């Protein structure tokens, strides 16, 4: 088992009025099996709460799952809050269901990757590893 | 820039209570980075103000829910609260799911509460590697109460007494009879007993079993030795018993201070920490040096010519730790 290493830390969050967390639990489990520490916030958090939690947990990656359709409101807010707190080195990754053109737009705003509902678990794990490797050590 | 800031550069920001610096320092403590050692030494010099409260109990007993309520109650008394919530690492992948925050919605977003989740990473005893350094960091950062929520424990994981001034053992109703209450182990370390899920009909029975156990101790000694641990019935979702629990925690702190036991406990914590740190160093040295030796020993073990005991002695001899007879 790893002891003295830089285990990747990920926080997985559900924001707003969205009670569907079967997907995030599967993602959390896949990342755990990929050797990462995964903090799960639980349902119905605000963007502020999620960003505060991400800062306190000193995560490498903030993963936000959204099935409510509010992604074009919530992601920009999260990006802005991270910037305000001087924490914009935290990599934001989105998941859930959304139109391709909006996913592209979110990536332009600074969301590092959007993993839609048909992404295989191993791709989620490898994507997180790649993004963290690209960013370099914290 | 926060990124790659040296640990020594973070120390003053930690003392000033800057969340990002605290969070980063906690990561360095958790990873056991060599680079962080002198910074942690400096931080240690700035500790000693916080009241460290351990909360332990079996998995599912309601620790996280109770911790959130207790923290909120301390907040109404204008005290800043740091929380270290520990969950287990996978023995297979090394990864973890840290779910204690799910229950802590109530205190999320309050700048007077800092919650950090930690994974055990193979540490036994109910705490994680780096937990005690994490307590130092939160103490130095000005959190007046630091709550350690242990991993869900069984009957024997009592490392929390190595870290906490006040230990609260949470018992959920309906998990055992009065014999469980007189067994050795976790129940013995309680300064305060909290019975959770107080709205269950069996809760009163659990309270009376615990009181019975404590009374037995008095009967055997023929007097009350020191202080009798109070038993507090709580029902967190209804906020029942929470103020009483926090009062019991404060009363214990008063007791420690007025009886002189606080300094004894502090010294005991220092001693256990030193011994544990030495153990960890030994263990890491062993891990680093044993590599490549096991294959040959396993082949020999497979033939049945040597026993695991003999193999262990040879392994130790190989890494330069000769066992005395």
Confidence of residue B2 (pLDDT cuts 50, 70, 90): low
Pick A56's closest partner by Cβ from B19, B91, B122.
Answer: B19
**CA dist list (Å): B98 to A46, A53, B119, B137, B260:** 19, 12, 7, 20, 37
CATH T-level fold of B47-258: Rossmann fold (3.40.50)
Q: What pLDDT, on a 0 to 100 scale, did the predictor assign at position B280?
A: 84
Determine the longest span between alpha carbons in chain B, in angstroms.
67
Contacts (Cβ under 8 Å, ≥6 apart) of B65: B103, B196, B236, B237
- CB distance from B319 to chain A under 8 Å? no
Q: What pLDDT, on a 0 to 100 scale, did the predictor assign at position B182?
A: 59
**Does the pLDDT value for residue A92 go beyond 80?**
yes
Pick B109's closest partner by Cβ from A38, A49, A87.
Answer: A49
Quickly tell me which residue has 């790893």 as its tokens: A2
Residue B20, number of CB atoms within 10 A of its CB: 18
Residue range B160-180, pLDDT digits in tens = 887 899 999 999 888 766 666
Tell which wins on pLDDT, B104 or B118. B118
Confidence of residue B184 (pLDDT cuts 50, 70, 90): low
**Does the pLDDT value for residue B40 go beyond 90?**
yes
Residue range A2-41, pLDDT digits in tens = 344 579 999 999 888 777 788 888 999 999 999 999 999 8
Average pLDDT, chain B: 88
Q: What pLDDT, on a 0 to 100 scale, did the predictor assign at position B38?
A: 93
Chain A hits for B95, Cβ within 8 Å: 7, 31-38
Confidence of residue B101 (pLDDT cuts 50, 70, 90): confident
Candidates A13, A37, A136: best to mutate against B (most CBs of B within 10 A) is: A37
Q: What pLDDT, on a 0 to 100 scale, did the predictor assign at position B142?
A: 97
Domains of chain A: 9-135 (3.40.50.280)
Query: Mean pLDDT over residues A83-102, rounded?
Result: 92
Q: What pLDDT, on a 0 to 100 scale, did the predictor assign at position B137?
A: 97
Residue range A116-133, pLDDT digits in tens = 888 999 999 999 999 999
Q: What pLDDT, on a 0 to 100 scale, did the predictor assign at position B177?
A: 60
B window 109-148, beta carbon within 8 A of A: 109, 114-117, 119, 121-122, 129
Minimal Cα distance from A47: which residue of B?
B109
List, as one string, the DSSP characters of A83-135: HHTT-TTSEEEEEE---HHHHHHHHHHT--EEEETT--HHHHHHHHHHHHHHH
CA distance A29 to A35: 10
Contact B66, B55 (CB under 8 A): yes
Tell me how long chain B is: 325
Contacts (Cβ under 8 Å, ≥6 apart) of A79: A88, A92, A109, A110, A111
CB burial of residue B190 (10 Å; 0-12, 13-18, 19+): buried
Tell which wins on pLDDT, A2 or B310. B310
- CB distance from A88 to chain B under 8 Å? no
- A38 contacts B95? CB cut-off 8 A: yes
Which of B12-21, B112-121, B182-191 bottoms out in mean pLDDT, i.e. has the lowest? B182-191
Q: How many angstroms separate the CA of residue A132 from the nearest CA in chain B?
A: 13
CA distance B323 to B325: 6
- B121 contacts A85? CB cut-off 8 A: no
Query: Mean pLDDT over residues B307-323, rounded?
Result: 85
**Does the pLDDT value for residue B225 go beyond 80?**
no
Q: What pLDDT, on a 0 to 100 scale, did the predictor assign at position B216?
A: 80
Confidence of residue A44 (pLDDT cuts 50, 70, 90): confident
- CB distance from A130 to chain B under 8 Å? no
Chain A hits for B89, Cβ within 8 Å: 1, 37
- B117 contacts A39? CB cut-off 8 A: yes
Return the percentage of chain B with pLDDT > 70, whole number: 93
Order of all β-strands in the sheet with A91-96:
A113-116, A91-96, A61-66, A9-14, A37-40, B96-98
Confidence of residue B239 (pLDDT cuts 50, 70, 90): very high
Minimal Cα distance from B113: which residue of A?
A56
Query: Mean pLDDT over residues B76-80, rounded?
Result: 96
CA distance B230 to A113: 53
- B109 contacts A48? CB cut-off 8 A: yes
Q: What pLDDT, on a 0 to 100 scale, did the predictor assign at position B93?
A: 85
- CB distance from A6 to chain B under 8 Å? yes
Q: Output the six-digit token pair for B133.
A: 């350094």
**CA dist list (Å): B168 to B28, B66, B81, B180, B304:** 28, 11, 16, 17, 48
Tell which wins on pLDDT, B49 or B183. B49
Query: Mean pLDDT over residues A64-89, rounded?
Result: 91
Tell which wins on pLDDT, B173 or B244. B244
Residue range B253-308, pLDDT digits in tens = 999 999 999 999 999 999 988 988 888 888 888 888 777 788 888 999 999 899 99
Minimal Cα distance from A38: which residue of B?
B97
CA distance B173 to B179: 14
**Does the pLDDT value for residue B250 go beyond 90?**
yes
Query: Mean pLDDT over residues B113-119, rounded?
Result: 94
- CB distance from B291 to chain A under 8 Å? no
Domain span(s) for CATH 3.40.50.300 in chain B:
47-258
Query: Mean pLDDT over residues B99-113, rounded?
Result: 86
Q: What pLDDT, on a 0 to 100 scale, did the predictor assign at position A1?
A: 35
- CB distance from A19 to chain B under 8 Å? no
Q: How many angstroms separate the CA of residue A100 from the nearest CA in chain B?
A: 30
Chain A hits for B3, Cβ within 8 Å: 89, 138
Region for A129 from its dihedrals, namely left if φ exceeds 0, alpha if ψ lies in -120 to 50, beta otherwise = alpha
Nearest alpha carbon to residue A7 among B129, B157, B108, B148: B129
């Amino acid at each position: 088992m790893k002891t003295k290493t830089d285990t990747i830390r990920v926080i997985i969050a559900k924001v707003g009025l969205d009670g569907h967390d079967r997907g995030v639990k599967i993602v959390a489990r896949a990342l755990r099996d990929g050797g990462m520490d995964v903090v799960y916030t639980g349902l119905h958090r605000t963007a502020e709460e999620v960003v505060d939690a991400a800062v306190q947990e000193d995560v490498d990656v903030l993963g936000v799952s959204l099935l409510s359709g509010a992604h074009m409101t919530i992601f920009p807010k999260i990006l802005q809050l991270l910037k305000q707190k001087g924490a914009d080195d935290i990599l934001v990754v989105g998941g859930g269901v959304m139109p391709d053109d909006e996913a592209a737009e979110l990536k332009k705003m600074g969301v590092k990757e959007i993993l839609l509902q048909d992404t295989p678990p191993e791709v989620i794990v490898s994507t997180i590893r790649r993004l963290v490797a690209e960013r370099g050590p914290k | 820039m926060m990124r790659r800031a040296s640990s020594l550069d973070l120390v003053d920001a930690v003392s000033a209570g800057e969340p990002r610096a605290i969070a980063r320092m906690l990561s360095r403590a958790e990873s056991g980075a060599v680079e962080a050692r002198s910074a942690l030494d400096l931080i240690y010099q700035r500790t000693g103000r916080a009241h460290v409260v351990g909360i332990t109990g079996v998995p599912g007993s309601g620790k996280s829910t109770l911790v959130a309520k207790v923290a909120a109650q301390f907040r109404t008394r204008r005290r800043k609260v740091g929380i270290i919530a520990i969950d287990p690492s996978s023995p297979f992948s090394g990864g973890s799911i840290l779910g204690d925050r799910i229950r802590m919605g109530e205190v999320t977003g309050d700048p007077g509460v800092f919650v950090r989740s930690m994974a055990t990473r193979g540490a036994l005893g109910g705490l994680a590697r780096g937990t005690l350094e994490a307590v130092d960091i939160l103490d130095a950062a000005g959190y007046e109460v630091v709550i350690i929520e242990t991993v869900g424990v069984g009957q024997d994981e009592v490392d929390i007494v190595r870290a906490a001034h006040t230990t609260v053992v949470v018992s959920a109703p309906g998990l055992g009879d009065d014999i469980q209450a007189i067994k050795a182990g976790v129940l013995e370390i309680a300064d305060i007993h909290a019975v959770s899920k107080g709205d269950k009909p069996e809760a009163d029975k659990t309270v009376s079993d615990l009181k019975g156990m404590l009374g037995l101790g008095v009967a055997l000694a023929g007097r009350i030795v020191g202080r009798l641990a109070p038993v507090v019935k709580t029902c967190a979702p209804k906020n029942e018993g929470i103020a009483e629990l926090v009062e019991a925690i404060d009363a214990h702190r008063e007791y420690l201070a007025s009886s002189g036991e606080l300094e004894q406990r502090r010294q005991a914590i220092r001693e256990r920490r030193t011994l544990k740190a030495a153990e960890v160093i030994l263990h890491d040295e062993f891990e680093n040096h044993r590599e490549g030796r096991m294959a040959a020993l396993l082949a020999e073990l497979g033939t049945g010519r040597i026993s695991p005991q003999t193999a262990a002695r040879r392994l130790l001899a190989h890494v330069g730790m000769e066992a005395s007879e």
